[in-house]
Amino acid sequence: MLYMPELSISRSLSAIAVLTSGGDSPGMNPAIRAVTRAALNQGIRVYGVNKGYSGLIIGDLHEMSSASVTNIIQRGGTVLKSDRCEAFKDPSIRRQAAEILKSHGIEGLVVIGGDGSLTGAQLLAEESSIAVVGLPGTIDNDIFGSDDTIGFDTAVNTALDAIDKIRDTALSHERLFLVEVMGRNSGFIATQVGIACGAEMIVVPEYPVNINQASIELADSHSSGCGASGIIVVAEGPVPGLTYRLAQELGQHGPEPRVCILGHIQRGGQPSGHDRVLASCLGTAAVDHLRAGISNVMLGIRENQVCEVPLRDVVERTKKLDRRLFDTATLLHK
């Protein structure tokens, strides 16, 4: 259960806007729905911005109704579409965006996205009179200040479903499979997936692996029949091709492993019940915070309670993967 903070309403809003930006994540639609209906039911008009900041800077927005968000809570992706907008790094473009919002009578903006999107939210909040609240919408779960992010749970479950199928072939042929999951700079997905599927090894950017030593250990496990699940989970890492390079190196100590790249399958699909509830609570809380006169914050989850995190902290600080969680996988695979 998530606990919502009680806030004193100090501001009367006539209209707010909501946008999704960056990589899509399952649960963005429930968040859009929550923002829209929470605002409308309190007498606030809502505008949806199409294609994130790219749509905002050209004025591509439309007024939302309750019917606009009917039957989207179960849908993956984002009905508002999304984009990555390099132009928004230009201060003059951000001023243009703020003027577009003001021209529609919009006083507050809810931004749903990852670290790049929240960077744009922070700059807009600091440089204009628009009140901005961010929500962590990313499958990577790498946003500072929040224990969880919208889409992470679904992505983990999607990867697990795929690995459970791959394992059937791995065991039938007594082969190793390297399964690559998303995570260029963070190993949160890989670590949780690895623990949940009983992987023999997890490779993440945060903690380098001695491939030679790991290869010998894997060979010993397979020869003894102990702990041989046949699955190695690899975070994609910052340099493309890591998983294939690992497969070649492991192949020097035994049969070359098969490689499965899960890729964008992890972004799609119906959001889990967990992500729907998380997104709904955060979306509702975003409207409450705007009505309370609070801006330049991201709303996250800490110890099952909605919390405020200054956007500057989100942008400037890094969420670290817990070494103890990573070590748990190593402890349990044998």
Both structure tokens of 87: 């132009």
Percent of the chain scoring above 70 in pLDDT: 96
Tell me the pLDDT tens digit for each residue of 128-172: 999 999 999 999 999 999 999 999 999 999 999 999 999 888 888
Catalytic residue selected from 24, 115, 140, 148: 140
267-277 residue pLDDT tens: 999 999 999 99
Q: Are residues 75 and 119 in the same domain?
A: yes
Q: Is the pLDDT of residue 116 over 60?
A: yes
Task: Provide φ and ψ at 49, rounded to 5°.
Answer: -100, 125
Mean pLDDT of the chain, nearest integer:
92
Which residue range(s) make up the domain with 218? 154-267
Claim to verify: residue 69 and residue 104 sit in the same structural domain: yes
Does one domain contain both 205 and 234? yes
Q: Are 146 and 60 within one domain?
A: yes
Find the CATH number of the domain harbouring 192.
Answer: 3.40.50.460
Q: Does residue 79 surpass a pLDDT of 90?
A: yes
Indicate if 137 and 176 belong to the same structural domain. no
pLDDT at 14: 96
C-alpha 136 chain-centroid distance: 7
pLDDT the model gives residue 296 = 98
Q: Lowest mean pLDDT of 174-178, 282-286, 329-333, name the range.
A: 329-333
pLDDT number for residue 230: 85
Q: How far is CA 135 from the centre of its chain?
A: 10
Do residues 299 and 218 lie in contact, with contact meaning Cβ atoms separated by under 8 Å? no
332: in domain: no
Q: Is 140 marked active-site?
A: yes
Is residue 1 a part of any domain in this protein?
A: no
Select from 49, 191, 188, 198 the least CA-distant residue to 124: 49
Greater pLDDT, 243 or 224: 243
Which CATH number belongs to the domain containing residue 19 in this structure? Answer: 3.40.50.450
Evaluate if residue 222 carries a pLDDT over 80: no
Domain count of the fold of the chain: 2
Verify that 262 and 275 share a domain, yes or no: no
Tokens of 52: 């994130």
Q: Are residues 120 and 191 in the same domain?
A: no
Q: Indicate if 100 and 216 belong to the same structural domain.
A: no
Tokens of 253: 């100590």
CA atoms within 13 A on the CB side of 135: 35
Higher-pLDDT residue of 253, 275: 275
What is residue 224's predicted lDDT score, i.e. its pLDDT? Answer: 64
Domain co-membership, 186 together with 121: no
pTM of this prediction? 0.94
Quick check: is 68 in a domain? yes
Judge whether 72 and 35 are in contact, CB under 8 Å.
no
Interval 70-81 mean pLDDT: 97
Decide if pLDDT at 311 tops 70.
Answer: yes
